[in-house]
Amino acid sequence: MDPHLNALSAEVGAWLLARKLKLGCAESCTGGWVAEVVTATAGSSEWFDCGFITYSNESKQELLDVPADTLRRHGAVSEPTVGAMVAGVLSRSRADVVLAVSGIAGPGGGSPDKPVGTVCFAWGARDGRTHCATCHFSGDREAVRRQAVFHALRELMTMDFS
């Protein structure tokens, strides 16, 4: 396991514990890597509730209630979609805060509007506050996915969920 991701997971865990929060996640392009990093941390059961891997559009709709119209109008890699993924996890879990990730890790699948390395994120809380962002990462498929995992967890700690 990556020592930087391990250290970040422990930091996220301490941050969540200090706020008495449980984390949930919805992942597409990262394929469960966020949940893998989090659950590799001893004691994570105290601050991690669940993860959904919704790789296909159909699974996003069926498991997280992402509206078909959102996917049709904006695509799976969009801030409206990851925002809806956050809402879906919150409605189906005991998580207090949620992060969602959907992107184009490559090597194919990109377009002029959404090139390979485009990753959309959302972080949300039970009170309805949600923050979305889009990043563009470089490197091969693994590098894009790793950067997405790191960014999702690091940025979670910048959110004001008090």
pLDDT at 42: 97
Q: Do the Cβ atoms of 131 and 154 come closer than 8 Å?
A: no
Question: What pLDDT band is residue 162 in, cutting at 50, 70 and 90?
Answer: low
Inform me whether the pLDDT recorded for 160 exceeds 90. no
CB atoms within 10 A of CB 91: 10
Inform me whether the pLDDT recorded for 1 exceeds 90. no
- pLDDT tens figures, 78-129: 999 999 999 999 999 999 999 999 999 999 999 999 999 999 999 999 999 9
Which value, in Å, is the radius of gyration of the alpha carbons in the chain?
A: 15
Read off the pLDDT of each residue in 12-41 and give the average, rounded to a whole number. 98
pLDDT at 25: 98
Cis bond upstream, residue 107 (ω within 30): yes
Inform me whether the pLDDT recorded for 161 exceeds 80. no
Read off the pLDDT of each residue in 18-43 and give the average, rounded to a whole number. 98
Domain ranges of the chain: 3-156
pTM for the model: 0.97
Phi/psi for 61 (5° steps) reads -70, -50
SS3 content of the chain, % helix, strand, coil (to 5): 45, 20, 35
Burial class (CB in 10 A: 0-12, 13-18, 19+), 19: middle
Which CATH number is correct for 3-156, 1.10.540.10, 3.40.50.1370, 3.90.226.10, 3.90.950.20?
3.90.950.20
Read off the pLDDT of each residue in 51-63 and give the average, rounded to a whole number. 98
pLDDT at 129: 93
Average pLDDT, the chain: 97
